[in-house]
């Protein structure tokens, strides 16, 4: 089924077309969300939200970008929103902890609290270190990095998802890598 026909069928409310769309894009949406949230159940939740949004707003799809670019954009937005609300939740949880038990309060951002570098770095620690390093990146660097490294996307595609120039994508990925290397090296050095 070509994309144009798929969009026409979706706009007509064809359930078969919607099922086809979900089957075609579910792994990409899930994987991209994983790159941001690093949690299977959160990524699954985001995937559901994305497809519900696609279903509801496909009427407004005018084909200025490709269907996949449009879906990726939604996935990135939903994932970033999820991280922002996680951060807010974490902030309130730390305040709560502060009032419950002063000993837990470090006043440090979450990224610095839970890693104990002196322990031997196993897979679990690496996963955590990488996740925290990624989360500390500015959102545009993180988005470019995730789309490249989790989705194998070409720079040109990333540029169209992020609505930035090719040169910007290149620079964002370069800076993201440099920052990650620095953060991960610091983590190992300690």
Partner 1 sequence: MMNEQHITDQLWEFHLGNLSEEESQQVQLHLEVCEACLRESEVVKQAVQEMAVERSQEVPPFLFTRIQGRLESVRKPAPLWKRTLVTSLGTILLLVSIWGGVKLGTMDVRQTSGTSLENPMGNLAINEMVNEPIEGYLFDFN
Out of 24, 48, 65, 86, the only residue in the binding site for partner 1 (CB under 8 A) is 48
CA dist., res. 79 & res. 86, Å (int):
10
Count Cα neighbours of 63 within 13 Å in the Cβ-side half-sphere: 8
Binding piece for partner 1, criterion CB under 8 A, among 95-103, 112-120, 159-167, 175-183: 175-183
55: buried, middle or exposed (CB in 10 Å: 19+, 13-18, 0-12)?
middle
Q: Does 168 bind partner 1 (CB under 8 A)?
A: no
**Gyration radius of the chain's alpha carbons:** 19
Binding piece for partner 1, criterion CB under 8 A, among 42-50, 64-72, 88-96, 155-163: 42-50
Distances from the Cα of 69 to the Cα of 63, 109, 138, 165, 185, angstroms: 10, 34, 21, 15, 34
Angle of CA points 161, 44, 124, to nearest 5°: 95
Q: Does 31 bind partner 1 (CB under 8 A)?
A: yes
Residues numbered 96 to 155 that lie near partner 1 (CB under 8 A) are 121, 123, 126-127, 130, 149-150
Query: Taking the mean position of all CA atoms in its chain, how far away is CA 119?
Result: 28
Out of 14, 22, 24, 109, the only residue in the binding site for partner 1 (CB under 8 A) is 22
CA dist., res. 51 & res. 29, Å (int):
9
Q: Does 47 bind partner 1 (CB under 8 A)?
A: yes
Name the minimum Å distance from CB 52 to partner 1.
Answer: 5
In the complex, which residues of this chain contact partner 1 (CB under 8 A)?
19, 22-23, 26-27, 29-31, 34-35, 38, 40, 43-44, 47-48, 51-52, 55, 121, 123, 126-127, 130, 149-150, 174, 177, 180-181, 184-185, 188
């Amino acid at each position: 089924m070509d994309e144009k026909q798929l969009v026409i069928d979706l706009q007509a409310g064809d359930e078969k077309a919607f099922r086809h769309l979900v089957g075609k894009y579910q792994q990409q949406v899930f994987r991209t969300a994983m790159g941001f949230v690093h949690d299977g159940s959160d990524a699954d939740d985001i995937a559901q939200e994305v497809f519900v949004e696609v279903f509801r707003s496909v009427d407004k799809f005018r084909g200025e970008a490709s269907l996949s670019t449009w879906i990726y954009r939604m996935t990135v937005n939903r994932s970033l929103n999820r991280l922002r609300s996680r951060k807010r939740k974490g902030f309130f949880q730390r305040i709560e902890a502060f009032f419950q038990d002063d000993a837990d309060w470090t006043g440090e951002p979450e990224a610095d609290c839970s890693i104990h570098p002196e322990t031997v770095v196993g897979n679990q620690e690496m996963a955590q270190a990488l996740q925290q390093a990624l989360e500390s990146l500015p959102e545009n660097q993180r988005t470019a990095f995730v789309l490249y490294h989790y989705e194998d996307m070409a720079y040109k595609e990333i540029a169209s998802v992020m609505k930035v120039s090719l040169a910007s994508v290149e620079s964002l990925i370069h800076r993201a890598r440099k920052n990650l290397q620095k953060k991960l090296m610091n983590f190992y050095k300690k």
